[in-house]
Chain A
Amino acid sequence: MLRRSLLLTIFILQLGFSATVKAGSVVVIVNKNNQSDSLSSDLVGDIYLGRKKRFPTGELVEPLDLPKDLEITSDFYKKVVKKTPAQLRAHWSRLVFTGKGRPPKRIVDEAAVKTMVAEDKKLIGYVNEVSVDKDVKVILEVP
């Protein structure tokens, strides 16, 4: 009986934890010394589509991307950039093959993104909120 209760408790805790991680788990981060405190979702979307090259404070911005097969990547692009993977690829192909732009660099994982953003004021990235620490600043919480 005790064992069953324990298992049930662990199961409920797991459910709660995964719900916490899933809901509002993607955050957009910048260097802690960045002068901006918050950015709109549309503005971040424009940065990731190559249409905005400076923060509202006038500082240069360079977006970092994550591997395209990660769930966080498709979640970020659906909610913030509002593009399907194929729409996004078509967008960048239009720019690449006409010499007008290059897509953001893909970084190997969230830890590397957080480390790079912590070291460079012009970088912006998106990670799961559990990856965030005091070295970076959350500038947008993705619902």
Chain B
Amino acid sequence: MPVKHTCLAALGFSFLAFHAVADEESPISTSVFGTLGVAKSNNNDFYFRSRTTLPEGIDNSWSFHNDSNLGIQLTYEPSEKFSATILALAQLNESDDYGPLIEWAYLTYSPNENLKIRVGRTVFPTFIASDYSSVSFTYLPVRLPQDVYSLIPFQGVDGIDFIYDTNIGETYLQFQGLIAQRDFEIFNDGGIGETDYELENTHSLRATLRHGNWSVSAGYLKGDMKVDVPEVQELAVFLKSVTNIFPVFSSLANGLSSEGEIRFSSFGIQYSSYRVTFSSEYVQRRWDINLNVSDNDAYYLMGGYHIGKWTPYAFYSNSKNKSKIPLSSYPTEGPAAPITFALGEFFSPLLGDGNTKGIGLRYDFLENLAIKAQFERINVGAQLFLKKEGQPVPESVNLASLALSFVY
């Protein structure tokens, strides 16, 4: 644990040292964001995680490690047309420490005021808020609705993107496109633990239309995914070896593969005025093969009412599993029953439908510092839960969170 805190503190001190020599006239600018968050659930048999990359999460003890982070962005802008940006993000990672990761590092060329072309590592807005999901200050709740935002298992991707914006009358339009790739890891419950992924040939596009207080947007991302998961290969070999005796398993045996196309699509609507903030998004995730990433349809509704510096808010999110693993049709009695049971254990983390109801209160102490208190009742279905020692999945979990978020 001391290593985690030392890394976080070192990043903070390096920023302070750097900021002391930077001034407004310098071509170098710095921006910082961070969250100090604590959370606890009412269940000690499960870990709840804010990201699928985490090897563990929070149980019924208060913990800082789920939501706390610190990000430092440096931008070198020698001219209006060229700039270089790097953003180091320290948060609990797959190595179970706060070693800073570079989630953004890119060069920007702006041939005119409407177009930016960027090369390097960027985070694509696959969903509305994907690219600023680490900056908790910028949205109402402690974390974005998990039934939707946990469906994207990666953040930064390496490639080239463009951002083009324009106006038609009083309507603002923005388009963002990307070609990229990225290797990443996630941790799953059940029969498959830590898994390495390779995302390649990724193409994506997001279009946003804003008029007055309203905006609507749609996004699409498509890529080829390879998975290093020997357990599934072994399972496929085993199932194929028994299909002569149990033909009921043949379609699953033939469907298991470590490569396939993954697709995300989303449609969102937002309203923001001096008093009211509202957003809603409907998303789909599809993968051609059934491994440890499920197909899902999900949505959320979120709104808040600003009363001076206070903003009470509420949200509801829902995720339905659409994977075609026909577990319910497999025999639960007779000689094939042990295989059905083993498959259930293996795939059960993928198959649940989940929803979350949340309420919270945000207080903006300063224009760049907010505290949020939040209570959620989660009907467990998302892949953000990890069993500790194989206990049965509870129907619901209560989660309490408190977070101090800032930007600078």
Contacts and interface: CB of A to CB of B under 8 A. Distances in A.
B135 A94 contact: yes
Nearest to B31: A96
B85 interface: yes
A51 B208 CA distance: 12
B367 A98 contact: no
Contact of B210 (A51, A53, A84, A89): A51
Interface string B368-402: 10100000000000000000000000000000000
Contact of A97 (B132, B212, B272, B370): B132
Nearest to B131: A98
A87 B306 contact: yes
Contacts of B87: 97
Interface stretch (B114-122, B218-226, B325-333): B114-122
Contact of A90 (B104, B138, B274): B138
A100 B134 CA distance: 16
Interface string A69-106: 00000000010001111111110011011111000000
A52 B114 CA distance: 10
B163 interface: yes
B167 A52 contact: yes
Contacts of B367: 68, 85-86, 88-89
A99 B106 contact: yes
B138 A60 contact: no
Contact of A93 (B118, B138, B165): B138
Nearest to A74: B367
Given A52-B172, A53-B113, A97 B33 contact: yes
B309 A98 contact: no
Contacts of B134: 97
Given A51-B210, A86-B309, A93 B108 contact: no
A42 interface: yes
A87 B362 CA distance: 12
Contact of B212 (A42, A68, A99): A42
A43 interface: yes
B167 A86 contact: no
Interface string A111-130: 00000000000000000000
A46 interface: yes
B172 A100 contact: no
B71 interface: yes
B274 A78 contact: yes
Contacts of A99: 85, 104, 106, 108, 116, 118, 122
Given A90-B407, A93-B31, 12 more contacts: A40-B170, A60-B113, A68-B367, A82-B274, A86-B364, A86-B367, A93-B407, A94-B138, A96-B31, A97-B33, A99-B106, A99-B108
Interface of B: 31, 33, 71, 73, 85, 87, 104, 106, 108, 113-114, 116, 118, 122-123, 125, 131-132, 134-135, 137-139, 163, 165, 167, 170, 172, 210, 212-213, 272-274, 277, 306, 309, 364, 367-368, 370, 407
